[in-house]
Amino acid sequence: RENFIHLCNPHLEKMKEDILYHFALGTGTHDFPALFGDVKFVCVGGSPSRMKSFIAYIAEELGLASPGGDYPNICAGTDRYAMYKVGPVLSVSHGMGIPSISIMLHELIKLLHHAKCSNITIIRIGTSGGIGLEPGSVVITRQSVDATFKPQFEQVILGKTVIRSTNLDEQLARELMQCSKEINQFNTVIGNTMCTLDFYEGQGRLDGAICLYNEEEKLQYLKEAYDSGVRNIEMESSVFAAMCNVSGVKGAVVCVTLLNRLEGDQISSSHDVLVEYQQRPQKLVGYFIKKSLGKV
| Binding-site residue ranges for substrate | 203, 205
φ, ψ at 193 (rounded to 5°): -120, 125
Residue 166 CB burial class (10 angstroms; 0-12, 13-18, ≥19): buried
Q: Which residues are annotated as a binding site for phosphate?
A: 80, 124-127
Q: Which residues pair with 250 in a beta bridge?
A: 121
Q: Which residues are annotated as a binding site?
A: 80, 124-127, 203, 205
